[in-house]
Amino acid sequence: MGAAYSSCSCGGSSTTITNTTLPHSFPNTTCFTHCPTANSKITSFTPKSKSCPFLFNPTAELLKSHFRKLAKFTTLDKAAAGAPSSASSFSLRCCSRVAEEMVGETQNEDFVKKPSFDPHSIDQELVENMAYEALVWSSLHGLIVGDRNSQTSGKVPGVGMVHAPFALLPMPFPESHWKQACEATPIFNQLIDRVSLDGNFLQDSLSRTKKVDAFTSRLLDIHSKMLEADKKEDIRLGLHRLDYMLDEQSKLLLQIELNTISSSFPGLSCLVTELHRMLLRQFRKHLLLEPEKVPPNNAVNGFAEALAKAWIEYNNPRAVIMVVVQPEERNIGGEAVAVIYFRAGYAPTDYPSELEWRARLMMEQSSAIKCPSISYQLAGTKKIQQELAKPGVIERFLENKDDIAKLRKCFAGLWSLDDLHTIQDAIERPGLYVMKPQREGGGNNIYGDNVKETLLRLQQAGNEEDAAYILMQRIFPSLTPAILMRDGVSHKDQTISELGVYAAYLRNKTKVIMNDNCGYLMRTKVSSSNEGGVAAGFAVLDSIYLV
441 labelled as ligand-binding?
yes
The reply to whether 78 belongs to the active site is no
The reply to whether 263 belongs to the active site is no
CA distances from 368 to 117, 336, 350, 539 (A): 52, 9, 21, 36
Strand order in the sheet with 414-416: 414-416, 469-473, 433-437
160 labelled as ligand-binding?
no
Residue 19 DSSP SS3: coil
Cα–Cα distance for residue pair 283/133, rounded to 1 Å: 10
Among the options 259, 416, 508, 543, which is catalytic?
A: 259
Hey, which residues does 435 pair with through a beta bridge? 446, 471
41 labelled as ligand-binding?
no
525 labelled as ligand-binding?
yes
Which regions of 141-266 does DSSP assign to beta strands (E)?
Answer: 144-146, 161-163, 166-167, 171-173, 235-246, 253-259
Among the options 78, 93, 343, 382, which is catalytic?
A: 382
158 labelled as ligand-binding?
no
Cα–Cα distance for residue pair 60/62, rounded to 1 Å: 5
CA distances from 263 to 91, 240, 427, 508 (A): 14, 6, 33, 22
Report angle CA 462, 463, 466 to the nearest 5 degrees. 100
514 labelled as ligand-binding?
no
183 labelled as ligand-binding?
no
- Three-state SS sequence of 48-91: CCCCCCCEECCCHHHHHHHHHHHHHHCECCHHHHCCCCCHHHCC
108 labelled as ligand-binding?
no
Pairing type for strands 369-371 and 337-342 reads parallel
440 labelled as ligand-binding?
yes
Among the options 93, 236, 241, 293, which is catalytic?
A: 241
The reply to whether 109 belongs to the active site is no
450 labelled as ligand-binding?
no
The reply to whether 400 belongs to the active site is no
Among the options 293, 436, 452, 507, which is catalytic?
A: 436
Among the options 233, 440, 519, 543, which is catalytic?
A: 440
Among the options 343, 370, 383, 523, which is catalytic?
A: 523
Which burial class, exposed, middle or buried, applies to 357 when counting CB atoms under 10 A from its CB (0-12, 13-18, 19+)?
Answer: middle
165 labelled as ligand-binding?
no
326 labelled as ligand-binding?
no
Tell me how far the alpha carbon of residue 520 is from its chain's centroid.
Answer: 10
97 labelled as ligand-binding?
no
The reply to whether 264 belongs to the active site is yes
Helices 124-141 and 266-282 pack at an angle, to 10 degrees, of: 130
100 labelled as ligand-binding?
no
DSSP structure string for 410-464: TBPPEEETT-HHHHHHHHH-GGGEEEEES--SSS--B-THHHHHHHHHHHHH-SS
Among the options 257, 290, 329, 364, which is catalytic?
A: 257
93 labelled as ligand-binding?
no
Among the options 11, 82, 345, 441, which is catalytic?
A: 441
- Furthest CA-CA distance within the chain: 69
The reply to whether 450 belongs to the active site is no
415 contacts: CB under 8 Å, gap ≥ 6:
386, 422, 470, 471, 472
- Report the chain's terminal Cα–Cα distance, integer Å: 25
382 labelled as ligand-binding?
yes
Residue length, the chain?
547
The reply to whether 440 belongs to the active site is yes
Cα–Cα distance for residue pair 497/476, rounded to 1 Å: 10
CA distances from 445 to 6, 388, 435 (A): 8, 20, 6
445 labelled as ligand-binding?
yes
**Residues annotated in a binding site for ATP:** 257, 382, 436-445, 447, 472-475, 498, 525, 531
Binding residues for substrate: 241, 523
* Residues that constitute the known binding site: 241, 257, 259, 382, 436-445, 447, 472-475, 498, 523, 525, 531
Catalytic positions: 241, 257, 259, 264, 382, 436, 440-441, 523
